[in-house]
Structure 1
């Protein structure tokens, strides 16, 4: 649920450099700062008190900016907004440096490393949420510092944050000569002033980002990037002025089709928004629509995909896979994907692109693609990627960039397109990767293949979203051998397979992820060798998903082998080596060796304290795991004491409302109960429930779990037994 920050408990620091001694001048930046400061403190945005908005223009040194940010970080307890506009540079370590008036290219001591600001937010901030907006060249580099991947990404992230960058990590931002504002900030200001047609009542950062991306891309400007961590995208920067004006227009007599009156009213607001005071609306906000724009017309299946009842001879020119008939394409590679022993999806690889096809049962009377799209968007953004809706040849689709693991466990992004079509009692999803994900013209062949697919729903009862299973008939095998040839796969295809395997596991199919990573590992060993970073990353993912699929002992064996290789190649202090030890300790515990897991985490904690620091997220996570496995090994009192110490540190570092702080309170209550203090556990969970209801809402899974555990410990406390 979107939330407006508390103005009294929030702060904003706006930094900009418009005058340079050694770089091109950016006079529009000065306008950016003044306009954004006025907006954040005005009725169209956050309504922050003027004294809560600090403007630092043309700072004389880096410490001036850092000091201002540190002060705001100490004062804010709700939301802290950090904005920078100016030149961005790449330092010798390929990280982002913010240019100040005296900055000289190549002299790192004359700029402001973005990492310094990140450290202030990580270590000194009391704010529950952070919003970082960077309008500068190469600002996407900051996303790399905050990106997430299983087991490693937390070391660089700022909790409860949303980072909005004007350009990708290799692109320059745009400041057109003569324009009042820079391209990115000008579009942001326009969005807050005039709203988003068809958008929700509150303009949260996720909605604003998607709108900015579509608008700037349509204008041919650099495409912004975003990074969400722990629901930072739900922070709203203001109410949707489009919706409020529409309500006023309709209240004045216009009906739903009264577009002429609405247009005149909209123009009036645009012409007067800089001077007009808008009183706060004391009515409840109108329900948010399902999308960010007017609802498009339903996609027509007049050219496919088809239902079996609509095609007389689906086998003509198609492969028969039972639940699907797929058009044959010369020189294609066909890969079937399993959930256990059942084939549930097929991937067609042709050239340097691929499409995965999967069909699901759906209600006869309504489609599910609208709902599925939103779920995919939420999942990708929460994992650190981006996803934008667009209208393509197959109707509404998603253009996504999903996180992938790069060499040395660095993080990158893979372009993917999600397409979907609802049919009678079924839904067909396609995932396009490779060249066709970024080059729509190149994807024409894959789109035609998707359209020509025939879905066989069958007559047996199925729940909505149940996969329509596939079979590989003898005829299909003969055709496959005749028409398909195995191709040597390049790095892009392998990276796509890595990404698809990961998301298959995230979708709940751990066994399918294992099978996919096993095949990928064989190809990477053959093409890259055993010591290549990509090969090691594949082994790490394969071990993890083996454990998630129920084979904890197999995960332990795989991580033991991987640890030996990473120690040999990277040494004992490398972050990847430490992360492998963390995974190995975890799966030892899951395999039934609780005492062994506790001992391993105890050794790891000593090394992370030495290599990192006490307050580093990886160190705190190690302490949490150590406390848990001590309890599982029979030391309930030791676990309770350890969680009590950890809670004090997480309250200091993260604040009371952070998810990790709340989770630590839950663990502490549990282990108090295990020591025999059922009444104490119940009392602690009662306090926790009130906070989770306030922070997460009544329907969040963590809130429901807290209620269940509270009922359990109350029952034990009242019964007097344990």
Structure 2
């Protein structure tokens, strides 16, 4: 049985064979001042979870999942990867596409342009070496998949500063997460969801053991069922939102005594992004501590035609997810 759209009850031994993913971990950069080796740990861990037949069950081949790290994570390499996703989605009307970027993200405060920093970034030739967010968004809009999820885990500098000191940024650049205007471009159309690891001028922190980012750590848990309920056989967008919205701020406060609040935005019906435990689902007796911690989460949309509504309180970091019927899109304050 294939998994696509709104899934039905699953038997074991299946694959999420309409799933396609491009995972980008910039890691080393040509100028070592801006290298972030931990980003490679992030995407390798996600790759392992997605391709595990007993977990997310994406087919483990280059037709379904590709990994760009270190010297491969160049601007041309990233754009080529997005073009590959465009071709895969065009050939598969039921495609679910995941794009994950882990690396630096900087805002040119003078030109008001946001840039992702690829491997070959050269501070003396920023227009010729950075991946401008407008170009990134344009390439994503070319992917005509029914369902597209974009994760941007950027602005890691504070976590790195705790370990080895923070490098100076080029003139006019400041650390920042994706601006709202860029997010609006990324989520144009139906079946689109955008996740960022923090918001505003917040930084995205790395775990104290330097193993991976806090955000990725909790995303991995959600992909294994930490935000799901007994009986769930797929991991949905709303499961990720629920779990990340609760655990990332708590971990940032516990580990670094800082605020890091993930951001979500979408215009979509709730949809599956992976199988849960190979489609076998989450039995009540197997719920782990992380899943138990989300037991008080707001209800997850379950029916075709229901849409997610997000409300993020600016003051207290609360994240509430409810149901909207009809044509209403996600709303946020």
| Same fold per superposition (TM over 0.5) | yes
Q: Distance in 1 between matches of 2:42 and 2:66?
A: 14
Task: Pick the aligned partner of 1:191 from 214, 222, 226.
Answer: 222
| SS of alignment partner, residue 127 of structure 1 | coil
CA contact (8 A) 2:56 2:223 kept: yes
Q: Distance in 2 between matches of 1:61 and 1:236?
A: 26
Q: Which residue of 2 aligns with 1:213?
A: 245
| SS of alignment partner, residue 224 of structure 2 | helix
Q: Distance in 2 between matches of 1:230 and 1:65?
A: 25
Task: Pick the aligned partner of 1:110 from 129, 132, 144.
Answer: 129
CA contact (8 A) 1:175 1:182 kept: yes
CA contact (8 A) 1:32 1:182 kept: yes
| SS of alignment partner, residue 275 of structure 2 | strand
Q: Which residue of 1 aligns with 2:23?
A: 14
Q: Which residue of 1 aligns with 2:260?
A: 222
Instruction: Give CA deviations for 1:610-661 in whole Å, capped at 9, x if unaligned.
Output: xxxxxxxxxxxxxxxxxxxxxxxxxxxxxxxxxxxxxxxxxxxxxxxxxxxx
* Structure 2 unmatched ranges of 5 or more: 9-13, 156-174, 254-258, 319-323, 328-333
Q: Distance in 2 between matches of 1:155 and 1:236?
A: 17
CA contact (8 A) 1:28 1:180 kept: yes
CA contact (8 A) 1:187 1:212 kept: yes
Does the alignment pair 1:129 with 2:147? yes
CA contact (8 A) 2:104 2:154 kept: yes
| SS of alignment partner, residue 17 of structure 2 | helix
Kindly indicate whether structure 1 or structure 2 has the higher relative contact order, using CA contacts under 8 Å at least 6 residues apart. Answer: 2
Which residues of 2 match residues 385-404 of structure 1 at below 5 A?
386-387=310-311, 400-401=312-313
Residues 244, 12 of structure 1: alpha-carbon distance in 2 compared, 3 angstrom cutoff: closer
CA contact (8 A) 1:168 1:223 kept: yes
| SS of alignment partner, residue 50 of structure 1 | coil
Q: Distance in 1 between matches of 2:260 and 2:119?
A: 24
Q: Which residue of 2 aligns with 1:54?
A: 66
Q: Which residue of 1 aligns with 2:200?
A: 169
**So what's the TM-score if we normalise by structure 2?**
0.68
Q: Which residue of 2 aligns with 1:306?
A: none
Instruction: Give CA deviations for 1:576-595 in whole Å, capped at 9, x if unaligned.
Output: xxxxxxxxxxxxxxxxxxxx
> For the aligned residues, what is the CA RMSD?
3.9
Aligned pairs, number: 272
Which residues of 2 match residues 329-368 of structure 1 at below 5 A?
none
Q: Distance in 2 between matches of 1:8 and 1:69?
A: 19
Displacement of 1:29 in angstroms is 1.4
Larger radius of gyration: 1
Q: Distance in 2 between matches of 1:439 and 1:38?
A: 31
Q: Distance in 1 between matches of 2:55 and 2:238?
A: 18
Task: Pick the aligned partner of 1:99 from 117, 142, 160.
Answer: 117
Q: Distance in 2 between matches of 1:210 and 1:133?
A: 15
Displacement of 1:108 in angstroms is 3.5
Does the alignment pair 1:246 with 2:283? yes
Task: Specify which structure has the higher proportion of helix.
Answer: 1
Task: Pick the aligned partner of 1:44 from 52, 55, 60.
Answer: 55
Task: Pick the aligned partner of 1:67 from 80, 83, 99.
Answer: 80
CA contact (8 A) 1:164 1:226 kept: yes
* Structure 1 unmatched ranges of 5 or more: 148-153, 250-261, 271-290, 297-369, 388-399, 402-414, 416-436, 441-506, 508-699, 703-722
